[in-house]
A and B are shown apart, each in its own frame.
Chain A
Amino acid sequence: MTGSASGYVKLPENSGAWRSIGGVILGDAAPVVEIKHLSKIFREAKEEVRALEDATLSIRQSEFFTLVGPSGCGKTTLLRLIAGFEQPTSGEILLYDQPLADLPPYRRPVNTVFQSYALFPHLTVDQNVAFGLEMQGVDAARITQRVAESLALVQLEGLGPRRPSQLSGGQQQRVALARALANRPKVLLLDEPLSALDLKLRKGMQIELKRLQLNTGITFIFVTHDQEEALTMSDRIAVMNKGRILQVGTPTDVYEKPADRFVANFIGDTNFIEAQFREDAGTAGCFHLANGMAFDAHETNDLIAGQHVVLAIRPERAALVEHGLGTLAGTLSNIVYFGTDTTYHVAVPGCGELQVRSQNRQGAGAHFHTGDAVDVQIPPDAVRVLAS
């Protein structure tokens, strides 16, 4: 399956990777892309920018893998290193166990969907999609057929003779996808492909991308700064910040068990409460707040008595209850209505402002008003303990 170092690494025509996951030769767990201790330092003038530091990752066959993080976290740099547009400062990238270091971008069996789409303005849609196939020396009849297939895949039949400038943003996006998919890459790299689309269109494309990935069985490496997009689309997510990979896991893992404060804060909303771990008799729980309140949590493994920790609690896992019935007492300072749910801001003395989110079922929460004395109820299984 791996090609020679000098030539293109091509998928066999009938490998089935195009059609379905079931036909893929390699097992699901086999790594397609392995990234080992990869670092990239940009030197501009006298400044040294550490864009990527010691990244190690393993991306599996037919996986929808997402790199997510704020701008400047190194996610695009990592993608460009895989594509071959940048050379790593140290470390290596393996594709099916084959080092990519010596392969220029045009010999790598990966294709990229660029953030700006980068469609060739002087070529028609058909010619854009055919470009990669022509470069590979595919014969003309086959090109025509593959171009039609690719355009059908992204539902752009009939737009072939147009130029990119005659298409809407969403259509250009689809052409970019078709162009990259026409080459039947082993890995498709997507660099924030949806960021230029408006919300409605973006939601539609998210579903479509997922469908394409399932239908083709191609391994997708998707870069986004949108944590929601990362959660809804991915099989696994790598959360990055300041050039480092902080956590790799399934959306559930990353959301439910964030590895650190940054991840907990970046992926979804989180309340952070500083507390001390003490198992005092007669108190409400083992986590003691500076204001004297205390509550319990299930997750107390490996904690030493007296240790200071940060507790992370998702707003939707906490509940707003009548004063005297909950864990932490405070005052309702603000109510923000979102349509599907409502977020209550509760000022807890000595603890800061906590957010509690509840779904807008009929009648729920309607009896609370700004300024009311309320309690926040925190179930013990909702608390995630992070190192301080």
Chain B
Amino acid sequence: MGGSAVTKQMLRRASLIGPALLFIGVFMLIPIGLMAYVSFLERGEYGGVVWHAYTGEAYSNFLFERDLDGSLLLNTDYLQIFSRSLGLATVTWGLTLLLGFPTALYMALQPERLRNLLIFLVTIPFWTNLLVRNYAWILLLRNNGLIDGTLSHLGVTNEPISLLYTPFAIGVGLMYSFLPFMVLPIYASLEKVDLRLVEAAFDLGANHLKALVRVIIPLARPGIMAGSILVLIPCLGAYVTPELLGGSKSMMIGNLIQTQFGAARNWPFGAALAFVLLAMVLITMMIYTMRSKRGPEPAS
């Protein structure tokens, strides 16, 4: 009797999570498995793959290229693209944090009615399509665009300054797109911080900076972490923004992978690149999870 009650309860729980598990299983795990399979196949002559012809070529292509005599030579082109992506994602992350934290703190300190309005304002960029927003940046950044035009009109610059199709343009575009993903989680955790704790810090002799560093930031840590994940990971694989604002000289991982499945017709290599990216993200996440399991850092 007890056994059947337990089974019943397990069934009830399974029915809660079941649909989601099924969906993820069918539409995520299977495609990822397929990608993993493809990454170990030989490339087809006109795109696609040669089924049942297994090779690790795609992965070695990431670091090496085959010389005419068949020996392997180190090729850092792809590493450069990866490190550029990592650099841009990191800079974007840093800037969104730098801009987002004070914004979130300001929002959390407002009266409740105003806070909801501010959340609404932060989400406004989501209301327009990502493509539209990126095209808007093209209009702003291009030669004789709004920024360049205004500067030369005011006599600040004599000749057109090239802003578009630079890593700078990608950084600006990414930051613009991902800022709300940093602001909102930080706000969510700051909003829960008991302001009396800040008063307690003042009371115990902490000035504003010390109260910020010793009390507010540690308590906002979950939000900062969530925001960082939400910004860093999608930035690493960003495609649309570097495609539109970056030009050919500042390709990022996302564009490289797209090229392999498109123009380059090298599916196994594209799949392998996607897995290298996935591995990078997973390793970072695992390090983070292991660190946060150890609990918050000691204070001193």
Q: Report the separation of the CA atoms of residues A123 and B295 in the bound assembly, to the nearest whole angstrom.
A: 11
In this assembly, does A83 line the interface, its C-beta being within 8 Å of a C-beta of chain B? yes
In this assembly, does A255 line the interface, its C-beta being within 8 Å of a C-beta of chain B? no
Write out the residue numbers on chain B whose beta carbons fall within 8 Å of the beta carbon of A122. 218-219, 221, 296, 299
In this assembly, does A96 line the interface, its C-beta being within 8 Å of a C-beta of chain B? no
The closest CB in chain B to the CB of A134 belongs to B300
Shortest distance from the beta carbon of B219 to any chain A beta carbon, whole Å: 6
Write out the residue numbers on chain B whose beta carbons fall within 8 Å of the beta carbon of A124. 299
Q: Is the CB of A132 within 8 A of B204?
A: yes
Q: Report the separation of the CA atoms of residues A130 and B221 in the bound assembly, to the nearest whole angstrom.
A: 22
In this assembly, does A112 line the interface, its C-beta being within 8 Å of a C-beta of chain B? yes
Q: Report the separation of the CA atoms of residues A123 and B201 in the bound assembly, to the nearest whole angstrom.
A: 12
In this assembly, does A368 line the interface, its C-beta being within 8 Å of a C-beta of chain B? no
Q: Report the separation of the CA atoms of residues A183 and B205 in the bound assembly, to the nearest whole angstrom.
A: 9
The closest CB in chain A to the CB of B197 belongs to A118
Write out the residue numbers on chain B whose beta carbons fall within 8 Å of the beta carbon of A337. none
In this complex, how many residues of chain B approach chain A with their Cβ under 8 Å: the count is 22
Q: Report the separation of the CA atoms of residues A134 and B300 in the bound assembly, to the nearest whole angstrom.
A: 9
Q: Report the separation of the CA atoms of residues A83 and B210 in the bound assembly, to the nearest whole angstrom.
A: 18
Write out the residue numbers on chain B whose beta carbons fall within 8 Å of the beta carbon of A136. 205
Q: Is the CB of A118 within 8 A of B202?
A: no
Q: Is the CB of A114 within 8 A of B200?
A: yes
Q: Report the separation of the CA atoms of residues A121 and B207 in the bound assembly, to the nearest whole angstrom.
A: 19
Q: Is the CB of A105 within 8 A of B203?
A: yes
Write out the residue numbers on chain B whose beta carbons fall within 8 Å of the beta carbon of A105. 199, 202-203
Per-position binary interface string of chain A over residues 303-320, scored 1 when its CB falls under 8 Å from any chain B CB and 0 otherwise: 000000000000000000
Per-position binary interface string of chain B over residues 92-120, scored 1 when its CB falls under 8 Å from any chain A CB and 0 otherwise: 00000000000000000000000000000
Shortest distance from the beta carbon of A330 to any chain B beta carbon, whole Å: 51
Write out the residue numbers on chain A whose beta carbons fall within 8 Å of the beta carbon of B299. 122-124, 127, 130-131
Per-position binary interface string of chain A over residues 161-200, scored 1 when its CB falls under 8 Å from any chain B CB and 0 otherwise: 0000000000000000001100100000000000000000
Q: B-side interface residues toward A, CB under 8 Å?
A: 194, 196-197, 199-207, 210, 214-215, 218-219, 221, 296, 298-300
Q: A-side interface residues toward B, CB under 8 Å?
A: 8, 83-85, 104-107, 110-112, 114, 116, 118-124, 127, 130-132, 134-136, 179-180, 183
